[in-house]
Amino acid sequence: MKKKELDLELEKIDYRILKLLDERMELALKWKKLNGENNGDYEEQHFIDQLNKRNYGLASAQFCNQVFKSVFSESHRLQSKKFKLIGFQGDHGAYSEVAAKVWGSGLIPIPNKDFTEVFENVAAGIFDYGIVPVENSLGGVISQVNQLIINTELYVAGAVELNVHHCLLALPGSDHRELRTVYSHTQALEQCHHFLARNKLEPLPYYDTAGSAKMLSEKAPKAAAAIASKLAAEIYHLDIIKENIEDFERNITRFLIFSKEKHDITGNKCSIIFSTAHKAGTLFKVLEVFARAKLNLTRIESIPNQQGSFAFFLDFIGSDKDEKVIQTLEEVKVHTRGFRLLGCYEEKKQL
């Protein structure tokens, strides 16, 4: 093995250690939220003693003790801060994380394996907020998320409209002329179809955009690239070969931010959910109420629920502290079933 190859392997291992430390610190913050206290010194010393019994490597017990005591000390330091955690689906660098940073720069984004886990962790109090995509201007509604919203008791605390810009990412020092394959989520590959075709790049579906960037960084497949966010390039130390490679300039994804408690703020947009009786004209009666009140509707969507009927999501401009809005919603309740005000909030845009 040559020196250059050894240097590269050492760099990969050091990078993995750094990423594992980040994951460890995120778990420490989740532990604090769940238990309300830091990990106990006794438990940590017991853990170190157990590690020493299993240590058959080159690193001395003294060195391992110092390393883990430093890790625990940093965990305690972070746990003592009053960080607000926001959960998102996917790996670090996902567009949901980009949207989370737009909504609140001081929040700590925590990845989750799926949307269900995001909702469950918010409900359990592990996360202060959860951010999920609800619709895309090209792909339509995200059905799985909207199904979860039907059954949640959480409240909408905010919203973000994000213009998604895809980047072609490659390993540092890669020659773009040698690239042959591109990994990414199916939707991202479709949204960059013309770019890939023009450059004779073979699309290879992957479970997640940020996940494809992470895989590229860790496994370094030959002549391969990934399509993901600019944030993913920063996190996984990848070169941006080209920005804004999407076929359509306007590719808007709307995200909702959920919390366990209702936020007492004066927002400018409200979201409600309801169903109607199986009678002709019932939905029209609801819409008529908003028309008479001259409240501007910005979204109405029907989603099938578990009972075989439909739930309606409706967004409108206004505040639930406005007397006209209060009276309108009271009238809407008369014509609906299972009415619920999800929240009144401010919507941020990064277009």
Asked if 210 and 228 count as a contact pair (C-beta separation under 8 A), the reply is: yes
- Give the C-alpha separation, 87 to 97, whole Å: 9
320 vs 69, 161, 263, 275, CA distance in Å?
51, 21, 12, 20
Contact criterion met (CB below 8 Å) for 191 and 215: no
Whole-number Å distance between alpha carbons of 227 and 133: 19
The span from the CA of 252 to the CA of 161, in Å, is 6
Cα–Cα distance measured from residue 134 to residue 61, given in angstroms and rounded to the nearest whole number: 50
Kindly give the pairing relationship between strand 167-170 and strand 224-228.
Answer: antiparallel
Catalytic residues: 253, 255
**Cα separation values, 209 from 101, 112, 142, 203, 316, Å:** 17, 14, 16, 12, 32
Residue 7 half-sphere exposure toward CB, CA atoms < 13 A: 3
* Both tokens assigned to 305: 């629920």
> CA triplet 350, 183, 242: central angle to 5 degrees?
50
| Closest to 155 measured CA to CA, from 328, 312, 344, 314 | 344
96 phi and psi angles, rounded to 5 deg: -65, -35
Tokens of 183: 């990994």
